[in-house]
Structures are given as structure tokens and as C-alpha cells.
Structure 1
Amino acid sequence: MTLGQAQINLHEVVQEVTRLFLDYESALMRNDADALNAYFWRHPAVTRYGINDRQLGHEALVAYRAAVPAPDFTRTLHDVRITAFGPDMAVAMCEFKRSDTDLHGFQTQTWVRLPEGWRIVSAHVSMVPFQPGLSP
């Protein structure tokens, strides 16, 4: 089955995942580990690659969140992009700036609508020196 153009960026899906993405950001800044864990798929195949860490499986994710202290910085999101692929899958991407570093942050989350609701099945966060406008 192919995904037709009419199925790309369905308005209601983009709106729903955008709200969830922003709610996730709020939970992240509050260090609400229970809320953050609940956004992720409770499955051994869930994957999160962080700045200096990785979690393979939901149990590893829960253990990581339990050990992470509350952030002592703020984040400003830029260029938030939500791309929906049909009614049940979306990719959320953004760039961010943290108050404690000159590095430039990038974040990607793959969201899937499961029987229990929308869940992140894969996530990646990185921070690098970056100069806007320069491309390889």
C-alpha cells in the first residue's frame, strides 16, 4: 500500500502530535519522569539516543529518567516541524537552544498511534557546534 499525497500532513494529526510534543517539552523542563516515561511506547524495542546516553527498551528508559536530575537550564525551541504520514504516524523535529551552552540542539521523535494512544517509538537528541546557513 502506498501513502497518497492526501494522507501527508492530515491537519488533525499534525495538531494532535504538535500538542503532545509541546506537552512532552513541558514535562521535560519540569523533570516529570512519570509523564516522560508515559509518552514512550512500553516495549523492549523503544529506542532513545540522547546527548551522552542511550536507552534501548522501556525499562532502560525508566531507569535513565529516575537517575536524571532536574534541568538547571531552560530550552527555547526553534523550527518545530511535525510531519504526519497517514492518521497513525508522525515525526516531530525541532532545533533548540539551551541557556547553559553555545551548542545547537536537534531533536527528533517518531510518534505512532497505538491502541493505548500516541506514543514515541524512537527519539534522538544531539547538540553540536552549528552555524546556520552553512551546509556540507
Structure 2
Amino acid sequence: MQLNRPDVVAEVTAAFTDYEEALTADDADRIVAFFAPAAVRFGVADQQVGLDEQRAWRRAQPPLPPGRRLKDTIVTAYGNDVAVVTTLFGYPGSDVLGRQSQTWVRLPAGWRIVTAHVSHPQ
């Protein structure tokens, strides 16, 4: 297994960037399209299993505050078909940074998130 093949890191970085654009645009259907059918997502105070739960939850959420910023984003590729993305995120007016991690897998439909976790320090 090759660690951090440049082409795989570039592909996942592009997918993650597209995901973040959908997230900040509050495009629920586009966000959900980045997840695999059986994906599990743990949020700050919520959890979803599968696309139906994810779609319903996304549609019920208010948009993110404007000005979301990322810090220390790391994409680590394991071979050709698996990668982990970790990042910190924050918003203007606050020094508090949340944490986000995603495991991406190359599926026939392309790169998809199979598990995600979002948290805030207490």
C-alpha cells in the first residue's frame, strides 16, 4: 500500500473542496450526494445513518453562519481507494475551533464519505 499518492490526495482534496462549497451554500441535496448510501455521520448533537436520515436532517438545519474558515486541513490517502480528511473549522467572531473528520472511499460512483464526525471542544 502506498501512502499519500499525489494523484489520490489531489482527487480527494478536490472532492472535499466541492463538499465544503456545498456545505457553505446550504445545498442539502448536493451535500448528501457526497455520502455513501450506508454512511454514518456523528454531529455535535446528532447522528444520521444512511442517506434518508442525512437528507432529512440536512433539510431541517439552518444554514451555517457566514464566513466559515478551515484550518490545518490534512488529507491522508491510504492506497488508491481510501483517504481520511481532518480539519478544524471556525467562524468570524469566535476563537473556538470545531473538529471535523471524514473517511472517503472510492466507489463506482466516485469518492464518497463513508463516515464523518463533527465535534466542538467543551
Whether the 8 Å CA contact 1:105–1:126 is kept in 2: the answer is yes
What amino acid sits opposite 2:64 in the alignment? P
What residue is the counterpart of 1:127 in the other structure?
Answer: 120
Q: Distance in 2 between matches of 1:14 and 1:72?
A: 29
Which structure has the larger Rg over C-alpha atoms? 1
From 23, 34, 41, the equivalent of 1:39 is: 34
Q: Is the 8 A contact 1:28 1:36 kept in 2?
A: yes
TM-score computed with the length of structure 1 as normaliser = 0.84
Runs of 4+ in 1 over 6 A off after TM superposition: none
Shift of 1:100: 5.4
User: Residue in 1 aligned with 2:63?
Assistant: 70
1:83-98 alignment, distance < 5 Å: 83-98=76-91
Q: State the superposition RMSD in angstroms.
A: 1.3
- The question of whether the paired residues in 1 share the 8 Å contact of 2:36 and 2:114 is answered with yes
Q: How many residues align?
A: 122
- Aligned equivalent of 2:17: 22
Q: Deviations over 1:3-59 (max 9, x none)?
A: 3xxx1000000001011111111110100111101000023xx10011121112221
**Alignment gaps of 5+ in structure 1:** 130-136
The runs of 5 or more residues in structure 2 that have no matched partner are none
Instruction: Report the CA distance between 1:72 and its aligned residue.
Output: 2.8
**Inter-partner Cα distance in structure 2 for 1:121 and 1:51:** 18
Write the distance in 1 (CA, Å) between the matches of 2:94 and 2:113.
27
TM-score (structure 2 length as normaliser): 0.93
Distance in 1 (alpha carbons) for counterparts of 2:21 and 2:51: 21
- Residues 1:81 and 2:77 aligned together: no
Larger strand proportion, structure 1 or 2? Answer: 2
Q: What code does the residue aligned with 1:19 have?
A: A
Question: What are the Cα deviations for residues 82-131 of structure 1, in whole angstroms up to 9, with x where unaligned?
Answer: 000000000011111122544221110000001111100000011115xx
